[in-house]
């Protein structure tokens, strides 16, 4: 039976700014696994398919601290977490972690809500005025295409497809395309330094 899972990534910069990104996946839940197996399978397969591409977009003073997953339909589940402490693999430090690239994920139907991923920690040399440079956008397009691809989970646990999920309607719409906004977006006050 298919259920919706939430995958959350927690980031921190050397300036002690923090932010997170959240994606939803529909898992086919093949086999006889428990929610722990499916959560761990989603985390592990996401890292195998997508981690290197994402970290190539971020500065070395930006760290992915934690990845966690939980089932949000079918009775829900506790959160399964994995500590990472992975730095970005770009060459130069970040310009600011209070601005971010906005990647809009487009669902299949035109009436469906667009999902957004805000990536802070962009290296200073990848920003020109208030816009992202061509090399960064090229790498982001490559990573986003990988992010859109359906994943096959290990150990026969089924498949996972990214999409937008509405808690209000309990509706899931698979993501079919993306748009990388050309200008930077300011993050809200949750990105301010921890005091």
What pLDDT is recorded for position 188? 67
What pLDDT is recorded for position 110? 62
Residue 166's DSSP bridge partners are 171
What pLDDT is recorded for position 87? 97
What pLDDT is recorded for position 92? 93
Q: What would the pLDDT profile of 92-123 be if each residue is shown by its tens digit?
A: 998 777 789 999 999 876 667 889 999 999 99
CB 94 within 8 A of CB 60: no
Q: Is the dihedral of CA 84, 175, 190, 59 positive or negative?
A: positive
Walk along the chain (195 residues) and give the pLDDT tens digit of each residue: 799 999 999 999 877 788 899 999 999 999 889 999 999 999 999 999 999 999 999 999 999 999 999 999 999 999 999 999 999 999 999 877 778 999 999 987 666 788 999 999 999 999 888 889 999 999 999 999 999 999 999 999 999 999 999 888 788 999 999 999 988 888 764 444 433
What pLDDT is recorded for position 192? 43
Residue 110 per-residue DSSP state: T
Q: What would the pLDDT profile of 144-162 be if each residue is shown by its tens digit?
A: 999 999 999 999 999 999 9
In angstroms, the CA 149 to CA 23 distance is 13
Owner of token pair 């299949």: 108
**How many degrees, rounded to 5, is the angle at CA 85 between CA 149 and CA 21?**
45
């Amino acid at each position: 039976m298919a259920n919706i899972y939430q995958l959350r990534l927690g980031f921190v910069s050397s300036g002690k700014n923090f932010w997170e990104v959240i994606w939803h996946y529909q898992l086919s839940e093949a086999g006889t696994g428990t929610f722990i197996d499916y959560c761990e399978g989603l985390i592990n397969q996401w890292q195998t398919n997508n981690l290197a591409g994402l970290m190539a977009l971020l500065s070395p003073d930006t760290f992915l601290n934690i990845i966690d997953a939980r089932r949000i339909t079918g009775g829900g589940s506790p959160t399964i977490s994995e500590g990472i402490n992975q730095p970005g693999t770009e060459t130069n430090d970040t310009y600011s972690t209070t601005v971010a690239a906005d990647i809009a994920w487009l669902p299949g139907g035109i009436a469906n809500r667009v999902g957004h991923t805000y990536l802070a920690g962009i290296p200073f040399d990848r920003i020109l005025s208030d816009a992202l440079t061509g090399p960064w956008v090229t790498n982001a397009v490559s990573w986003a295409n990988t992010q859109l691809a359906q994943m096959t989970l290990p150990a026969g646990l089924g498949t996972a497809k990214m999409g937008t999920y509405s808690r209000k309607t309990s509706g899931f719409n698979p993501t079919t395309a993306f748009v990388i906004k050309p200008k930077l977006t300011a993050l809200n006050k949750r990105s301010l330094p921890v005091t």
